[in-house]
Structures are given as structure tokens and as C-alpha cells.
Chain A
Amino acid sequence: MSAIALGHVHTPRTTIDPVPLTRITAVELRKMFDTRSGFWLIASIAICAVLTTLGVILFASADQLTYSTFATAIRFSVVIILPLIAILAVTSEWSQRTGLTTFTLVPHRSRIIAAKAISSVTIAIAAMALTFAVGALGNLLGATVKGTPLVWDVTITQCLYYVLGMVLSLLIGFMLGVLIRASIGAVVAYFIYTFLVPTIFGLLATSQQWFRDLQPWVDIQFAQSGLYSFDSALTGEQWAQIGVTGIIWLLIPLLVGLRLVMRTEVK
């Protein structure tokens, strides 16, 4: 054990530049990959995309073997994993207590949260690009193996809808992470949000006539379903429904969560 220590005396610093947001974002991005659990969570997107694609090639009937089938199938696993990434990016600061260091190195919590949002969305877009590529390879492979005609039935616009839908799902996870700040709680809340609440709304819509007309304006999953349908462009009304449900289910709770994050103690 060596006695001392610091190699040099303090060098007087004349000016210190603030930590730029790009640097904080790069660090936050790195933090998503630098643990085994984080790494495999992100890797599982690619793994699931490949497995689902193989599944579609093996089990889908010949007339279904189109690009939209691949894209739709891959969505189911990705829509669960992506929000988990966003949730854990936020909640680990509290549940792993790394926030003690993070929030003292950058004492403005809003900047850390912004950096986490940017890096999460970056991951989401990269993941979508990857799944589109895997789906495209699957489509080529499927057509070759099964001898079916190669069908590209998805337009660029629809791809962008799709990416938007996935980013919105991810932001729901992000919002729940910010609001709840505990990993398990936020994950459970996400499943309630994504699977339980839409089911209840669905039941309500089938049994109550008055709710059926209201549903697109209240049910965020229902409102966003047009983003994944690959059949037509969204109407102005559908956009409005996405906007209204987004304000109710995403924006307002996010603002509440952000307020809590700014004010609460980090222990």
C-alpha cells in the first residue's frame, strides 16, 4: 500500500466550462450497455427480432409471407423490451443508488433526465432500424426458401409511423420510470398500462354504447393502433386522437414525475 498519492499539486483552473449535454448523453448511453443485464436487454431486441423472423418463415402460410407480416411479428417482442430499457435507465439511479454520484457530478437533474430521454430514443430508433433490416432479410430469405413472390407492402411513411409508435411506447416506459422511480413498480405499471387498461377499455367498449365513440379519445393503445396497421395513412382525426391520449396518458404524468424528480431527496 503506497503512502501517498496524488501525482501533482492542484493546477489552478481559470475557467471551467459547464458539462455539455452531448457529453452527458454519451455517458448515459454508455450506462445502458455497461452492465451484463443492460447489455443483454438491448441484445435481446436483436435476438428476438431474429427468432421471430425465423418463426414467421417457418410457420406463416405462403400468402402471408410479406414484409408487413415480418414487421408486425417483430413488434410484439420489441414493444415490451424497449420500454424496459427506458424504465431501467431512469430507475437504476434510485434502485442501484447511483444517483448519489450522477446527481452530484451534474447537479441539474433536468439535464440528466433529458440526456436519458435522448439516449433512450436513440436506442429505440437504432433498434427499429435493426428490426426493419432483420425483417427485410427475413422477407428475402422467406421468398427464396419457400419460392413465394417477394412482397414489399410497407411504405416509408408507414415505417415512420411504426417508429413513432415504438418511440411513444418507449416514452410511456420512460414516463413511468420518472414517475415511480423504482424498477419493479415501474415495470408492473407498464404492463398494467399496456395490457390491462386496454383490455378493460375494450370490454367497456363492447358492452357500453356510449363508450364506443369515446374510446379513441381515451384509450391510448386504441388511438395508436393506426400507427401499426400498414394499410392506410392516418387521418387528421386519428392524429388528434393520438395527441389527446398522449397528453392524458403520457404528457401529464410525465410532468408530474419530472416535478417529483426535481424536488425529492436522493438518498
Chain B
Amino acid sequence: MIIVEGLTKRYGHTLAVDDVSFSACPGRVTGFLGPNGAGKSTTMRMMVGLTPPTSGTATVLHRRFADLPNPGLEVGVLLDASAQHAGRTGREVLVLARQTMGLPASRVEAMLDIVSLTDVEANRRVRDYSLGMRQRLGIATALIGDPEVLILDEPANGLDPAGIRWMRDLLRGYADRGGTVLLSSHLLHEIEVIADDIVMIGHGRIVSQGTKSELLHEAGTIVRSGDSDALEHALTAWGVLVSPTGDGALRTDADAALVGKVALEAGVALTELRAAEGAGLEEMFLELTSATQREGIPA
């Protein structure tokens, strides 16, 4: 369980994170979605005490992170897979985490197994790791204490499609066993396939949050017919917001049942009627992204 209340971070005159509140629940994967520079990483750093917030609070398992006696056993954290000493071997990185948490030596091999790092790879130095291997190592470090909560910042970055699939299954299984997973991404598709709940952030502010199905449902319907003008007229008369999609169909903010009923009364035959899946979310996200073309600034 993660509860974030009114987290705010101000750097001089810029509000990097502005009154962000949300929660991530056990048994669910919560996706933290936003373009680069939206404030995702800053929010996550504040949650684990690396960045002091200007105001607001964050609790993990109903305690402030700093009050957790041995945080590694309760919260697995991966903030940046590249943030490892280049001169250490992958295995050594895990050994250090294991020793700090006071776990048995066997945990290291078990974790290497889970993230599919071979013996040879584990004995290589992190400087020779690809980003995908660093992500695997980072996930192994987060999992080694068998925590109840996972906080992962862009964990799919650098993973190949098979790796993304593997991670999706891993996190899914983890949540299904009652774990709480919060992961961030700047890719809508990634979040869509993994998350149960979505928190979307832009310019440091939460722009939308809810369960994935809620957010997708909000998107309305796509309807196509032989007589678009008559249909548009009828729908507008019902107070439904209508806009052309550009390829002859119409997008509405009403659900399929209402659109069907209106079409029947207007005597317009439909050729297509479906939920506009994710389109609304995607549009909102694209809007955010185009307004924040700030490549190079860490998110």
C-alpha cells in the first residue's frame, strides 16, 4: 500500500511536482504515466526519502519510508538501473544488498535465476552490461528482500520485447499474490498492457487517474454510418458531443447503447459502432507530450 498526499516539490520558481495525491493498492499494478520531465521520478524520489518534499507526505505500508526499520524487506525500489558502480560485478551488487538486509547467501543465486542473468553475466562488471541487463539487475536488487511493495521507475526501458513480456508476467504474478506495484513509464502502451490502475501526470500535476477500464471507458465511442451528416445532427440534438475522426467516422462521448438508440430513432443505418478504446487516453497523453517536448531532461 502506497499513499501519496499533496506531494509538492519546488525548485526556485518552478514547480516540478504540484500537489500530487494518489494511492497504489495491494494486488494491483499501478502505472504512473507521463512524458519525460513530467515529475514522475521526482515524485518517486520523494516517496523513498531521497528528495525532501517542499510539502506533502508519502507513506508506504502506512509508515514514512524513513521509519521502515529495514526498508529492503518491505519495499523494493528501482529508481535508475544505470545508477550502479561501474566497477562492481552484477553478483557483487546483489551481495551488498543481501548483506545490508541480512538475508541468507542463497538469495543472490535465486534472484539471478529469476531475472535470467547467467553465471558468466553475473561475474561481469556492470560497466559491460547493456541497459536491459542493468534493468534485470536492478529488478533483482528490488526483489531480493521479498518485499510487499515495489516502486520501479521506468523498469521496461532498454528491455527487448521478450524482456518486456517477461517483466509484465513477473509484475502481474507479483500483484496477483497480493503485492503492491507502482511503476512509471513514458510509454502509454507499456502502461496499458501492465497496469490495472493508471495515474497520469503532466507538468508536475495529475491530469487523470482511475482504473484502466474507467479511463478507457471515458473515451466514448466511434460510430460510422452511410449518412454521417444526419447522424451528427441527431446526436447533437441529443446533447452528445460529436467530432469527425477524419476518416468518415464520428467520435462521440456517449456510450454505444445511446448512440445505437439515437441512430435507430433517426433512421440512420450504422456500419460500425465500437468503444473508442484508449483513444481518449492516448489523445490526452499526446497533448501532454507535444506540450512538453523536453527531450534530455530527466523525467
Contact = CB atoms under 8 A, between A and B. Distances in A.
Interface of A: 1-11, 13, 16-19, 23-24, 26-27, 30-31, 34-38, 92, 96-101, 103-108, 263, 265-267
Contact of A98 (B52, B84, B178): B84
From A26, A100, A106, name the one whose CB has the most chain B CB atoms within 10 angstroms.
A100
B100 interface: yes
A100 B84 CA distance: 9
Contacts of B52: 263, 265
B48 A104 contact: yes
Interface of B: 45, 48-52, 65-66, 68-75, 77, 79-80, 82-88, 92-93, 95-97, 99-102, 110, 113-114, 116, 141, 143, 146, 148, 162-163, 166, 169-170, 173-174, 177-179, 298
Contacts of B84: 96-98, 101
Given A5-B169, A13-B73, A100 B96 contact: no
A98 B70 contact: no
A27 B96 CA distance: 6
A38 B70 contact: no
From A31, A105, A108, name the one whose CB has the most chain B CB atoms within 10 angstroms.
A105
A19 to B, nearest CB: 5
A11 B143 CA distance: 14
A100 B50 contact: yes
B86 A31 contact: no
A107 B67 CA distance: 8
Given A6-B143, A10-B146, A107-B65, A98 B83 contact: yes
23 contacts: A1-B162, A2-B114, A6-B114, A6-B143, A6-B170, A16-B70, A17-B70, A19-B102, A24-B100, A27-B100, A34-B96, A37-B87, A96-B83, A97-B80, A98-B84, A100-B50, A101-B77, A103-B50, A104-B48, A105-B72, A107-B71, A266-B51, A267-B51
B179 A97 contact: no
B122 to A, nearest CB: 14
Contacts of A98: 83-85
Contacts of A31: 96
Interface of A is mostly: loop
B179 A10 contact: yes
Given A27-B99, A100-B80, A266-B50, 13 more contacts: A1-B163, A5-B169, A8-B146, A9-B177, A16-B68, A16-B70, A27-B100, A96-B84, A101-B97, A105-B97, A105-B100, A265-B45, A267-B298
Contact of A38 (B87, B97, B99): B87
Contacts of B298: 267
A222 to B, nearest CB: 38
Given A3-B169, A10-B146, A96-B85, A106 B100 contact: yes
A1 to B, nearest CB: 5
Given A11-B146, A23-B102, A2 B116 contact: yes
B114 A5 contact: yes
B97 A4 contact: no
Contacts of A266: 45, 50-51
Contacts of B146: 6, 8, 10-11
Contact of B177 (A10, A105, A106): A10
A105 B71 contact: yes
B83 A101 contact: yes
A24 B45 CA distance: 22
A100 B138 CA distance: 11
A6 B174 contact: yes
Nearest to A39: B87
Contact of B101 (A8, A19, A265): A19
Contact of A107 (B66, B73, B93): B66
